[in-house]
Every structure is written in C-alpha cells, then in structure tokens.
Chains A and B, each alone.
Chain A
Amino acid sequence: MKIPFKRHSVLPGFGLTMGFTLFYLSVVVLLPLTTLFLRSSTLGWRRFWAVVTTPNVVASYKLTFGASLVAALVNAAFGLVVAWVLVRYRFPGRRLFDALVDLPFALPTAVAGITLTTLYAPSGWIGSRLAAHGINVVFTPAGVTLALTFIGLPFVVRTLQPVIESLDLEVEEAAASLGAGRLKTFARVILPTLLPAWITGFALAFARALGEYGSVVFIAGNLPMKTEISALLIMTKLEAFDYAGATALAVVMLVSSFVLLLGINRLESWTARAGA
C-alpha cells in the first residue's frame, strides 16, 4: 500500500498507529469539544452575550483571572529561588525537597482543597496565628489565591531547572573575570538566558490556575459576587440543569485557555530559536 502523503520509510506500522491515534484523538477529545461549540451556537449570539456578561459571571472572571495572575506571579518569584537553590547548592535534604516539588501534581485537588482550608481556618495551625493579627484567609479572594499558588508551584520550578542545569559556567566566570559583580552577572548574563523558560513556567502556572476547581472550592466558600470562580459557576449552572448557560461560560473559559496555550507555543518556538 502506498501512502503518498508521508515520506517513505522502511519501518512498518504507520497506517495502524496513525489511524488509531487519529481515531482515538477524535473520539475522546475532538468530537466532545466540538459538541461544546455546537451546543453554545444554538443559544444565539444575543443570549450567549447576555449569559456571559451577567454581573456575577463578570465578577467570577475578575476573581479567576486576578487570583490566577497573582498566584502565578508569586510562583514565578519563589519558583526562581527554589529552582536556583535546588540546582546550584548542596544542602541536607535537597533530594527530598526536589522530589516534594511535584506534590501538587500528585496530590488529588480535593485533598489539597480540604487540607488548605483546615490549615488556614481560624482554628488551624496557620490560620490561628494569622487570626491573632486580625487576618482571615478562608472564604476570601486571598484564600482562592493561596490554593492556586499551591497547585501552580511545580510549573516554574520544573521548567527552570533544566535550563539552570545547562547554563555554561564559563560564561559566568568570564563575566566575573571581566570585573562584573555577582549581582550584575546574574542580571545581565544569567537572567536573560533564563527568561524564556521563566515566562513559559509562569504562563503554564497561570493557565492551570484559570481552570482549577477542586483545590479552590473548599477554601473559597463560594460567596456570590465575592469568591465564586468561573469553574464553580459552570458547576452551579449544571446542578440547576442550566446546560445552555454552563456551555456558554465554558466556551468563554475554553477560548481564553486556548489563546494562552497558543501564546505558550509561540514562546516555546521562540525559546527553541533563541537556544539554537
């Protein structure tokens, strides 16, 4: 059998594996996602717009984007320090902490959610200390940000680590021998090299936070107009059997995630070009 569209290869199995890949991808991912857009189009533009711009929905966008942005920024700052320390320094427990960085990937989000809520509740280990200073985190936007910071923690660290490992020490030595101070070397020589990966890690953490549900709903308390995230509003509409409303909101969230993902891809190809 001749498949004109691929380059000739002596290896067998292209038809089988490619066929199965496309079939499985279509059935599991592409067709289901298409139904989302089909269903929302039956709503009509006017109703669609009305659903996605009601005040509590707009409030949820602000909270979701705001909290995700703050959480990703916090992770960008501390993630750089953590990645740097884990790669460059040797200290007892380094391997343990390195392995622990992936905990937010491995720990189910519902477990993270109830645990953070218990820790930061006024009776919890951390919450009681904060309460002594008049600070309350649970059932506030700060709590939402906290949960999103937890689940976004590994992204910046894990994208930066390989890049820091591959840094050429000789370049730093050259900068130092030319009289640059350590801070200047870092800012002018090291940071520019890390920048693409740093931004990618930030964007990945941000994208993950936008759609997050499980870890947030417990600590958010879901007060209308105050601590309702967009994913929760979809859930609420579903429970009220308002499928059209849920679908419209889902389309808005999905499109914003895709735009972000596209940006990340652009960034990665830019990184690859810069590295070549």
Chain B
Amino acid sequence: MTRRERGPSAANQGEPLAVRVGLILVALAYLLLFLMMPLLAVFTEALRKGWAAYVHAVSEPMAWSALKLTLITAGVAVPLNLVFGVAAAWAVAKFDFPGKNVLVSLIDLPFAVSPVISGLVFILIFGRTGYLGPWMQAHGFKVVFALPGLVLATVFVTFPFVARELIPVMQAAGREEEEAARVLGASGFTIFRRVTLPSVKWGMLFGVILCNARAMGEFGAVSVVSGHIRGKTNTLPLHVEILYGEYNYQAAFAAASLLAFLALVTLVAKSLVEWRSGRRQEGAS
C-alpha cells in the first residue's frame, strides 16, 4: 500500500519541455475559460452597480427569507442523511450478507435520477391528485408547495452523499479493532464513538460538506415542489431564478454571489479535509 513519493524531477521525465508547456497551457486555458471566468463573472455582475446596490439586494426581506429557508432545508436534510450514511456504512462495512452489492447500487440510485424527476415523484405522492394528497389535505397537512416538500426533495437528491463517502472508508478501516473492543467488553455505541469514529471522521466530514453544498444549491428538484411562493417557499437558488426572470440582473447576481461564496467555502473546506486526511495517513504509516 505504499505509494511512491514522486518529486518534480521524477514526475517530469518523459515529455519534451515544449510538449509539457503546451499541455499545461491547454489545461489552464480550459480551466480558465470554464471555471475561472464564470466564477469571476458572478462577483463582477453582483457588484456592477456598486456596494450600496449589492448590500441592498442581499439584505432585502425576500432575500433573507430565501436564505433562511435554504438554511432550514439543509439543516434538516443533511443530519438525516448523515444518520442514514452512518447506519448504512456500519451495516455494509462491518457485516457480510448476501445482496450487499445490490444495496450499495440502490443507495447510489438518486444520482442517476434527473433533479426534475426527483421533484416530480413527490408531486405524484403528495400532490392534489397524488396517492396521499387528498388524505393529507383532509387532515390539514401541506407537503407540496410547502416546506416539507422542499425538505423531502432535498433529502432525495442528497441521499447518497454521506453513505457513499463513508462506506469505502469504513471498509478500508477493517473490523479487527472493533472486534477487539467488543471482546474487551465495550458496548456498540462506545465502539463506534471511540474506535470507528476517529478513523472515519475525515471521510464523514467530506461527505457532509458535499451533501450540504448540494442541499443548499439544489434547484431543479426544489423548483418542482416549491410552487414559487415568494417569501414562503423560495429557497435562495429559486430566488435567484425569479430575480433573473424579472430582468433584475444585478440583484439576481447579488443573491447568486452568496451561493458562489458558499461554493468557494465548500471547495476550501474540501481541500482542507483532503489535506488533513492525507497527512493523517502519512503519519499513520
């Protein structure tokens, strides 16, 4: 399992200098055009009319309520999927049972479903003509075009993230340490907290970061179930869409810049976790 350390001199052997420089330029041009330019454009457009207009756009009540709704939705969806991810990873990584591969494939299923379809299924269940819709309506529950619908659609699209990161990490960690702890008399919860968690915490954090980014940024699925009621069922991405549709570009980009900022925080956090977990492995070996 030792990966050879590659210094720059070892890595650079092979291609002639001109080819190397050429390839680097092609790669950087591609990344600049497709990633750097859009990122810069978000903030430039947001500040086009100056700071005052920017502050006004991000502090208006509709933007605030959209931000609040986004935080609530992610605040419910991420912990739910975290608990699921831990349970699924424990069952898959620590035990042998038939059909394990099928289970893992089923967990990945939401990744293969278009966001629009993810929203559609909840309309089919809870909508006015849905299977449970009339019953819900009779008992005063509102799911579609309300907060529960937003949360459900978000839980669906972010379902695999934590489990997907945790399963391979827990599998790689093996079972011997947990089994030893068990033989020494530790309870299940103690084993998880004292033995398993320390070795998988970075993988778990990684999954939570990705899950959260998707939960806060989800657009298609949430768009289907929200009904676009301003100040009530508009998350931040939907707020961006409405402002853009009203040709209020500066305000749309101001709201979008909050989401772009969140994306940058995600990238930094992700890099930090990768760096920390990489160092940990080096220290451990």
Give residues in A with beta carbon < 8 Å to B: 5-7, 9-14, 16-18, 20-21, 24-25, 28-30, 32-33, 35-36, 39, 78, 81-82, 84-91, 93, 95, 97, 99-112, 114-116, 118-119, 124-126, 149-150, 153, 165-166, 169, 172, 176, 182, 185, 207, 210-214, 218, 231-232, 234-235, 238, 243, 246-247, 250, 253-254, 257-258, 260-261, 265
Which residues of chain B come closer than 8 Å to A214, judged between CB atoms?
Answer: 115, 219-220, 223, 237
List 26 interface pairs A-B (beta carbons < 8 Å), by A numbering. Answer: A6-B96, A11-B95, A14-B95, A16-B87, A21-B88, A24-B87, A29-B159, A33-B113, A35-B121, A81-B30, A85-B24, A88-B14, A89-B23, A90-B12, A100-B36, A103-B35, A103-B267, A108-B263, A124-B41, A125-B41, A211-B114, A211-B116, A213-B219, A218-B244, A231-B117, A258-B112
Which residues of chain B come closer than 8 Å to A88, judged between CB atoms?
Answer: 11-12, 14
Which residues of chain B come closer than 8 Å to A105, judged between CB atoms?
Answer: 210, 213-214
Which residues of chain A come closer than 8 Å to B238, judged between CB atoms?
Answer: 110
**B217 contacts A108, CB within 8 Å?**
yes
A11-B94, A97-B27, A103-B267 known; 11 new pairs, CB 8 Å cut-off, are A12-B191, A25-B88, A82-B27, A89-B11, A103-B35, A110-B240, A111-B260, A153-B35, A211-B117, A213-B116, A253-B117
Nearest 6 CB-CB pairs, A to B?
Answer: A211-B114, A108-B217, A213-B220, A214-B219, A106-B263, A12-B188
Within 8 A of A (CB), among B192-244: 192, 210, 213-214, 216-220, 223-224, 236-238, 240-241, 244
* Partner pick for B97 among A6, A32, A115, A254, CB 8 A cutoff: A6
Which residues of chain B come closer than 8 Å to A35, judged between CB atoms?
Answer: 121, 124-125, 131
* Partner pick for B188 among A13, A119, A153, CB 8 A cutoff: A13
**A32 contacts B125, CB within 8 Å?**
yes
Main SS class of interface, B: helix
CA distance A28 to B80 in the complex (A): 11
Which residues of chain A come closer than 8 Å to B87, judged between CB atoms?
Answer: 16-17, 20-21, 24
Which residues of chain A come closer than 8 Å to B15, judged between CB atoms?
Answer: 182
**B114 contacts A108, CB within 8 Å?**
no
What residue of chain B has the Cβ atom nearest to residue A218's Cβ? B244
Within 8 A of A (CB), among B115-163: 115-117, 120-125, 127, 129, 131, 152, 155-156, 159
CA distance A11 to B179 in the complex (A): 6
* Partner pick for A254 among B88, B106, B113, B156, CB 8 A cutoff: B113
B62 interfacial by beta-carbon distance below 8 Å: no
Which residues of chain A come closer than 8 Å to B39, judged between CB atoms?
Answer: 100, 103, 107
With contact pairs A6-B95, A115-B42, A118-B45 given, residues A107 and B217 touching in the complex (Cβ less than 8 Å): yes
**A89 contacts B124, CB within 8 Å?**
no
* Partner pick for A112 among B38, B115, B216, CB 8 A cutoff: B38
**A106 contacts B267, CB within 8 Å?**
yes
**A235 contacts B188, CB within 8 Å?**
no
**A247 contacts B12, CB within 8 Å?**
no
With contact pairs A110-B240, A150-B38, A214-B115 given, residues A18 and B106 touching in the complex (Cβ less than 8 Å): no
Of A100, A106, A211, most buried by chain B (CB within 10 Å of CB) is: A106
CA distance A232 to B220 in the complex (A): 10
Which residues of chain B come closer than 8 Å to A16, judged between CB atoms?
Answer: 87
CA distance A261 to B113 in the complex (A): 10
A11 to chain B, nearest CB (A): 5
**A17 contacts B90, CB within 8 Å?**
yes
Of B83, B86, B87, B270, most buried by chain A (CB within 10 Å of CB) is: B87
**A116 contacts B237, CB within 8 Å?**
no
